[in-house]
Structure 1
Amino acid sequence: MVQLFKTIKICLLLLMHAAAPPLHILIEKTEVIIMQEATTSIASPESYNTMTLTGQGRVMAQPDLAVIRLGVQTDGVDLDTIQPQNAQITQNVLDALQEGGIENIRTVQYTIDKLYDYENGTQVDRGFKVINLMEIRAEDLSGVGNIVDTAVSAGANLIEMISFEASEPSVYYQQALNMAMMDAIDKARTLSRSLRLRTNLTPIKIVESGSVITPPLPYQRELASTPVLPGDISIEASLTAVFAY
């Protein structure tokens, strides 16, 4: 009975050994399978060429806001005299403008400076200069000349500038930016047709170059008469776009 049990045990061991391959063979097959899966899972990147083009857009807008900077300058040896004199004249200008219905006024500069001359290489004290500069913003462009005349009649003797602006320049800039994008796309389309390229007209990269707002020429008192006529404002946008083909 014992002999029979040993015989059966030996037979079972032989069968198990015959059914299972050596351990090192199983490991080698496993490594091959892993390497194959890793190799097939890595996709090679798609290669393509690119073209880099610029686009420009420009919108002309009519200004709807006037910005006027004017004020009072007084000079003299005695600061205690010219400072209150400047204040009184400035108040006269403010009163005259407000009586004319101008309310959007603010002070943008008030300075007291020493005045010097040079005679034979020697610095000579000439007293003081007091400047009180105010800014007026007006939506009625037709009344700009009247504002200037009113201020000058009341004692203003310093006109720094008159500029004309658009109250919402971002609206016009967005239009110019859209035109710049279409300009770049049109260039890409033209080049693709000429060179027979299959180009994706949706850019893979866009870089905005910035905006340029060119106002009308500033008003110069000595070069212009009282009627002040604003010109158009030029608002420009530019960008760089990269297309793949």
Structure 2
Amino acid sequence: MLSTRIARTAHVAAMAAALAGAFAATALADDSNGNKGGGNGRPDGVRGRQALIKVSGEGRATAAPDMAIVQLSVVKDAKTAREALDANNKAMAEVLAALKQGGIAERDLQTSGFSINPQYHYPQNNDGSNRPPELIGYQVVNGVTVRVRELSELGEVLDKSVTLGVNQGGGIEFTRDKPDDVITEARKAAVADAIVKAKVLAEAAGVSLGRLIEISEQASRPEPVPMVRSMAKESAADAVPIATGENTYNVTVNVTFAIDQ
């Protein structure tokens, strides 16, 4: 009995010693890792955070447009919707036929709006109160978007369209059919601008600029040169004068560099 009790006591003592040794080894390893690099007991995620420089770069490139997008509409009024529609159809058919005959391809003509609107007169009584509105007719509007790829012919296209019945519109957007080369130039300028900014910040902070960590581009759109002109038949005696100007394409990039300390 006594010998069994002594054996159990010795076994428990051995297990306790083994556990104590394991805990001591773990604590020693943790302490060693915590002191690596002069640690001060902060969590690894905080202690190991890399110093970074984040900047934005902007690039801009300009180019002359090579295409114009024109919004044209035919507006016709009549006593009945049928009469207004018939008159509008006749005028728009003549406009489209003339545009095609003038070299505008089918793919560059697209109907962009169509509406039939009742027209009302709002009479008043002698005392200033309103009487029920009176239907006096209908208005039909048919709009077409035209892509003019030969800018030298744009003035003639506008003049001919007005002569044939276009009496509303005139919104013009000058653009480039394929702006990829210009946008690439703006991208390169944006990255170069970001690098210059990062170097200036690093020098001011007394550190060295490290490797490139991340680069991304913000969504951007070109700045087209818009032109809005009110058109009427009596003002279309000569070809409409056109000034195309230039388009500006802007690109913004976000760049992150590491800091070498």
TM-score of the two chains, using structure 1 as the length reference? 0.77
**Secondary structure of 1:109's aligned partner:** strand
| CA distance in 1: counterparts of 2:17 and 2:114, whole angstroms | 94
Pairing partner for 1:233 from 238, 247, 251: 247
* Cα offsets for 1:119-160 (capped at 9, x unmatched): 434434332110111111121111111111222222222233
Cα distance 1:95–1:194, how it changes in 2: closer, same or farther (>3 A)?
A: same
Cα distance 1:201–1:191, how it changes in 2: closer, same or farther (>3 A)?
A: farther
**Secondary structure of 2:220's aligned partner:** strand
Unmatched tracts of structure 1, length 5 or more = 1-16
Q: Which has the larger radius of gyration?
A: 1
Q: Which runs of 4+ in 1 moved over 6 A?
A: none
| CA distance in 2: counterparts of 1:193 and 1:220, whole angstroms | 52
Contact 1:56 1:183 in 2 (8 A): yes
RMSD after superposition: 2.9
Matches of residues 7-86 of structure 1 in structure 2 within 5 Å?
22-37=14-29, 40=32, 44=44, 45-86=47-88
User: Residue in 2 aligned with 1:138?
Assistant: 148
Contact 1:72 1:89 in 2 (8 A): yes
Deviation at 1:172, TM superposition (A): 2.9
Which residue identity is paired with 2:113?
Q
Are 1:220 and 2:212 an aligned pair?
A: no
User: Residue in 1 aligned with 2:116?
Assistant: 112
User: Residue in 1 aligned with 2:208?
Assistant: 198
User: Residue in 2 aligned with 1:14?
Assistant: none
Cα distance 1:60–1:201, how it changes in 2: closer, same or farther (>3 A)?
A: farther
* Cα offsets for 1:163-194 (capped at 9, x unmatched): 11112234433432332222122112123223
Q: Paired residues, what number?
A: 225
Pairing partner for 2:162 from 137, 152, 160: 152
Are 1:90 and 2:100 an aligned pair?
A: no
| CA distance in 2: counterparts of 1:52 and 1:23, whole angstroms | 55
* Cα offsets for 1:55-85 (capped at 9, x unmatched): 2111112212221221311012221211111
User: Residue in 2 aligned with 1:210?
Assistant: 219
Contact 2:120 2:135 in 1 (8 A): yes
| CA distance in 1: counterparts of 2:103 and 2:16, whole angstroms | 101
TM-score of the two chains, using structure 2 as the length reference? 0.73
* Cα offsets for 1:23-72 (capped at 9, x unmatched): 54344334433443455567744345444433211111221222122131
**Secondary structure of 1:82's aligned partner:** helix
Identity across the alignment (%): 24
User: Residue in 1 aligned with 2:173?
Assistant: 163
